[in-house]
A = this chain, B = another copy of it.
């Protein structure tokens, strides 16, 4: 019913093997034969069956990704859709396809990963998030399946990964604030066990150190949730100790909470910096300065690393560091 390689072979007066070689653009085939075969394919409107190719090749040229389904950030933070776009752009360029599935929790994710791998649907996996002792990572390693993780993994040697330089990102934000004359700077971040939080906190401390400012542990807050409420409360608590002249945060939502405290108290003159540069940032009052982590590029390079691994491109690195960029707005005194 559907036109196959056989029909093309018949029309072009060659064998199916030859047609197959023409499709693969094998150098062994003479130009003339190629031309004939192309013509036959043209007139029959032949399209290779990707499934059959995959079966014979033992490769689907498909990448699998897993999306959280209950993460608040899924909708509020464009990280995921931006990363997906970057992945798609690179994959398309190389003729790869992408499958996605939403997962409710870590076990769910593990099952999806196992299914993707075992059923041979995908050639490799891109993990958009990684936990401590991530079950998916252990599984993928153990089963020797190609994968890449967005965010620095626990062992950076034997894993492909892409990430921002979170230390550097926060380090330069704090430098920037100190250069503006601040010397009493608060830090409100996520749970300390996350690598991102740790790295950013280190960047914060280092900057203070370099400038001879003593780190005051009471100015360092940790919230359990990336939410406005948590940010609000952390800021309140921070201020029972001391009122800073500036506050850095590790997420825009936290920063919104900080802004709220400031709005409630007209006397406060505190500069604030968020993280992730969500669309909401420019709509705050005042518009929030925020660090853009370039999620699209993270996705793009994740796909690149994985595909190069799959195609055994030699001499490639095992990670990429994607630059961040502070977007200055009124919350740090810059009108847009």
Contact = CB atoms under 8 A, between A and B. Distances in A.
A33 to B, nearest CB: 24
A314 B80 CA distance: 37
Size category, A interface: 35 or more
A50 B84 CA distance: 24
Contacts of A82: 75
Interface string A70-101: 00001110101110110011001000011111
A317 interface: no
B97 A99 contact: yes
A102 B86 CA distance: 9
Contact of A92 (B85, B88, B101, B280): B101
Contact of A285 (B81, B121, B285): B285
Interface stretch (A52-60, A146-154, A185-193, A207-215): A52-60
B99 A62 contact: yes
Contacts of A75: 78, 81-82, 279
Nearest to A295: B75
Contact of A85 (B69, B279, B284): B69
A118 interface: yes
Interface of A: 47-52, 54-55, 60, 62, 67, 69, 74-76, 78, 80-82, 84-85, 88-89, 92, 97-102, 118-121, 256, 279-280, 283-285
